Amino acid sequence: MKLPDQFALPLDWPQGSDDSRFILSEANQAAHEHFQFWSRWPVKATILIGPRRSGRSLLARNFVARVGGRLFDPAEDHEEEALFHAWNQAQETGLPLVLVASAAPPDWSIALPDLRTRLAVTPVVRIEQPDDRLFAALIQRLFADRGLHLPEEALRYVVSRVTRDYWTAERVVDAIDRFAIAERARLTVPTVRRALVAGGLITGGIEE
């Protein structure tokens, strides 16, 4: 399984060295393109939602670092007056406001009517749970961060058997790494299987 090609769309948002940490796939394509073409936003603000550990903060930070503006992350934990004034300031200055959250504003229970009105016209973009391609690439990236390489056969085994979400990817890598060190074992499919069973990430049973 090949890793996704690195994206390269330096239009409204020039690419920088940190952007390589963001792995592009169908799960986050729409969100990424939304930030690439920020001059087309109907208002100079946007709301980015998605699961924790999905790269939402990385995407938002890289964007603000390139073009300027302000970032509230997580937005729902900030005072409503601060968000209200930041939204107005973004329209006045033309510098974008990015609000990162776990869910869209209707789930925030916003008390300030003027803020509620403004967020109602603010675009919302979402990062979804990872597809197989992104999940595999993320696991390989996490192993590479530890100076390790997971063979393709073992990677396919993992992707086909564990729950596919961002937190699980981190748990998988940690469980396999710890188990392999403890057992002084190579990263083979049998080692990976035993590690996942020991870590409670898959159930035990007869080897398939």
**Percentage of the chain modeled with pLDDT above 90:** 82
pLDDT class of 89 with cuts at 50, 70, 90: very high
Residues 152-189: tens digit of each pLDDT: 999 999 999 999 999 999 999 999 999 999 999 999 99
What fold is seen in the domain 17-126? Rossmann fold (3.40.50)
- Position 38, amino acid: W
For residue 22, the model assigns a pLDDT of 84
Residues of the chain with CATH 3.40.50.300: 17-126
The whole-number average pLDDT for the span 57-73 is 95
pTM of the predicted structure, to 2 decimals: 0.83
Asked if residue 27 has pLDDT above 50, the reply is yes
- DSSP label at 204? -
Residues of the chain with CATH 1.10.8: 132-198
- DSSP label at 2? P
Residues 118 and 86: beta-carbon distance below 8 Å:
no
Asked if residue 94 has pLDDT above 50, the reply is yes
Residues 129-149: tens digit of each pLDDT: 999 999 999 999 999 999 999
For residue 7, the model assigns a pLDDT of 29
What fold is seen in the domain 132-198? Helicase, Ruva Protein; domain 3 (1.10.8)
CB-based contacts of 123: which residues, under 8 Å, 6+ apart?
Answer: 34, 41, 42, 43, 45, 46, 47
